[in-house]
């Protein structure tokens, strides 16, 4: 099991932990809780999937008109929480948010199954749905609109990148004397770290 202490780079440590989670977790090791806030300060959280990671940050994709999309445009700050129950580990990420480039969104969108791409056109995510039949009709209309394999990315769908300022690694330890190490982003782009009381 990877220990937190040898790593000076939080991205290297996260990558190592994610690889272990991919080997141990039966479902969606890349699942993360995304927390945003409404313009008047109410917190809002939901589960999304991590779809990209590099030294710039953590990437996920969504409908820009969804509740989370609207909240991120109004207040481009977010927190992420990864909980790998099998490994008894948690990673917490806090930072500002930016949109990924159109090219990045196009590249990821092209890897999705065709029906998932159709669904991005059919779903008015987070708005009122009268019935399942209404959704199925919207899916059928999108399939008729794009009868071939090529389904372009909707203009309202794309990625966001969380740009971390703080990344905390938490490991379960006996008697609740847990191991906590937090990394802080510095003005020069480097990282410092400290250990926290459990």
- What are the residue numbers of the active site? 176
Q: How does DSSP classify residue 116?
A: H
Is residue 115 a contact partner of residue 55, using CB atoms and an 8 Å limit? no
Closest to 153 measured CA to CA, from 108, 93, 97: 108
Distance CA 73, CA 90 (A): 27
| Helix, strand, coil percentages for the chain (3-state, nearest 5) | 30, 35, 35
Q: Helices 132-145 and 114-122: crossing angle, nearest 10°?
A: 110
Within 10 A of 165 (CB to CB), how many other CB atoms are there? Answer: 14
Distance CA 172, CA 176 (A): 7
The pair of structure tokens assigned to 68 is: 């989370």
């Amino acid at each position: 099991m990877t220990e937190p202490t040898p790593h000076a780079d939080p991205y290297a440590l996260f990558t190592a932990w994610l690889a272990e989670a991919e080997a141990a977790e039966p479902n969606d090791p890349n699942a993360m809780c995304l927390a945003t806030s409404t313009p008047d300060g109410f917190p809002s959280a939901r589960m999304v999937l991590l779809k990209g990671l590099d030294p710039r940050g953590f990437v996920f994709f969504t409908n820009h008109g969804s509740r989370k999309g609207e909240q991120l445009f109004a207040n481009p700050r977010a927190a992420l929480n990864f909980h790998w129950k099998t490994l008894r580990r948690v990673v917490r990420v806090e930072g500002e948010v930016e949109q990924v480039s159109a090219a990045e969104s196009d590249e990821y969108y092209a890897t999705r199954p065709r029906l998932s791409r159709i669904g991005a056109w059919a779903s008015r995510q987070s708005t009122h749905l009268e019935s399942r039949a209404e959704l199925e009709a919207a899916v059928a209309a999108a399939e008729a609109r794009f009868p071939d394999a090529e389904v372009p990315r909707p203009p309202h769908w794309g990625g966001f990148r969380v740009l971390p300022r703080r990344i905390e690694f938490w490991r379960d330890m006996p008697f609740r004397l847990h191991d906590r190490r937090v990394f802080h982003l510095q003005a020069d782009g480097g990282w410092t770290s400290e250990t926290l009381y459990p």
